[in-house]
């Protein structure tokens, strides 16, 4: 190491500083704007890992090599460097700066200590995943900002008739509907989903297909919802494409965290209570709702047996959005029930 030129340590010192600074910019966004405990912890872990790797470099040589006064780069800039129209622009640029700096650390550390290069490389790969999750969370929050209620519809469960229930719910303000059919043939489901697509389009609402990205693609739905035993987010994305919404059902905080990192656009969180439309062996209940509310800011909907009698408990546990089925589909007045659930669910 004694033969390594000072310029190499100067490069490593500058790249380490850029990485630390960029990570702090991102963490401030995640902590103070997103208020996301999950990603705040991840960013803190990234900073800690960086510090451990850099500590393997000789601190005295890094500091001795620093020469800010003679750095020609301090007087070179482009107009684009000073153009940021939003905090999203700031954090997106910070992610790129961190990743570029980590690549510099990876390459030049090979000259000093080859053991460090793979560690910088792995940290860079982790940042790619974090970038995807943070930016998708930020985008999804805006998409779902004014959507407090999610309606899951099974045609046979609509006591007043499929079309009547859906149209009354849409007229009352439902902005997202999921088609969930377990007993129909594929052709029957496609016909049903096409009717939903027509009605939701006319109302300016979103249509999601449960479990089946192929049907979502055929009927030009807005997205697909996946269970824990269905396709992965990545596999579903390969079918529906980059612009479609993908929701994921989660039943534990670990599943919720993983769904966020895997690229989900929103989560289903539950089951909260026993449901009239779906059976479960276990119920994570309100405690799971509290856990998700405490740390995850990707949009999520509490689901499972929620009705007018217990929605206040769900709200008090931290849920800003709820998903229901029988509370509207079994109602003799689905439009009025929809308005009541929207009022009770509220929006952050």
- Positions of CATH 3.20.20.70 in the chain: 145-345
CATH number of 6-141, picked from 1.10.3720, 2.60.120, 3.40.50, 1.20.1260: 1.20.1260
pLDDT on residue 80: 64
Q: What is the pLDDT of residues 74-90, one digit of tens each?
A: 676 676 666 778 999 99
Instruction: Answer whether 0.85 is exceeded by the pTM.
Output: yes
Which two three-digit tokens encode residue 28?
């401030």
CATH number of 145-345, picked from 3.40.718.10, 3.10.450.50, 3.20.20.70, 3.30.465.10: 3.20.20.70
Which two three-digit tokens encode residue 82?
């000073």
Residues 29/87, Cβ–Cβ less than 8 Å: yes
Percent with pLDDT over 90 in the chain: 88
pLDDT on residue 274: 83
- Rounded CA-CA distance 177/158 in Å is 14
Q: What is the pLDDT of residues 193-244, one digit of tens each?
A: 999 999 999 999 999 999 999 999 999 999 999 999 999 999 999 999 999 9
- Positions of CATH 1.20.1260 in the chain: 6-141
pLDDT on residue 77: 65
pLDDT on residue 348: 41
Enumerate residues 6+ apart whose C-beta is below 8 A from 102.
Answer: 15, 19, 120, 121, 123, 124, 127
Q: Is 174 left (phi over 0), alpha (psi -120 to 50) or beta?
A: beta
- Rounded CA-CA distance 58/50 in Å is 15
Task: Measure Cα distances from 110 to 7, 65, 96, 103, 290 in Å.
Answer: 14, 18, 22, 11, 46
- Residues of the chain scoring pLDDT < 50: 348
- Rounded CA-CA distance 199/255 in Å is 33
């Amino acid at each position: 190491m004694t033969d390594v030129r000072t310029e190499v340590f100067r490069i490593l010192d500058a790249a380490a500083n850029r990485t630390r600074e960029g990570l702090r910019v991102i963490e401030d966004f995640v902590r103070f704007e997103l208020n996301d405990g999950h990603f705040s912890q991840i960013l803190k872990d990234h900073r800690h890992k960086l510090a451990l790797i850099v500590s393997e470099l000789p601190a005295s040589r890094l500091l001795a090599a620093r020469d800010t006064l003679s750095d020609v780069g301090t007087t070179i800039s482009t107009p684009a460097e000073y153009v940021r129209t939003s905090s999203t622009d700031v954090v997106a640029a910070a992610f790129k700066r961190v990743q570029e700096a980590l690549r510099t650390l990876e390459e030049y550390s090979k000259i000093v200590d080859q053991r460090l290069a793979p560690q910088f490389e792995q940290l860079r790969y982790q940042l790619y995943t974090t970038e995807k999750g943070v930016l998708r969370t930020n985008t999804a929050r805006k998409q779902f900002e004014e959507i407090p209620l999610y309606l899951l519809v099974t045609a046979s469960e609509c006591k007043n008739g499929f079309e009547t229930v859906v149209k009354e719910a849409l007229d009352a303000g439902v902005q997202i509907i999921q088609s969930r059919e377990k007993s129909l043939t594929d052709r029957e489901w496609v016909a049903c989903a096409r009717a939903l697509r027509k009605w939701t389009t006319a109302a300016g609402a979103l249509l999601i297909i449960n479990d089946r990205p192929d049907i979502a693609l055929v009927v030009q739905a807005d997205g697909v919802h996946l269970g824990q035993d269905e396709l992965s987010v990545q596999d579903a994305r390969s079918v529906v494409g980059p612009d479609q919404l993908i929701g994921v059902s989660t039943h534990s905080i670990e599943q919720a965290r993983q769904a966020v990192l895997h690229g989900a656009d929103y989560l289903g969180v539950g089951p909260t209570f026993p449901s009239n439309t779906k059976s479960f062996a276990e119920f994570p209940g309100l405690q799971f709702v509290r856990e998700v509310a405490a740390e995850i800011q990707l949009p999520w909907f509490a689901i499972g047996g929620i009705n007018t009698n217990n929605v206040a408990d769900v709200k008090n546990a931290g849920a800003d959005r709820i998903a229901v089925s029988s509370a509207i589909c079994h109602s003799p007045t689905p439009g009025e029930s929809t308005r009541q659930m929207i009022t009770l669910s509220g929006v952050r």
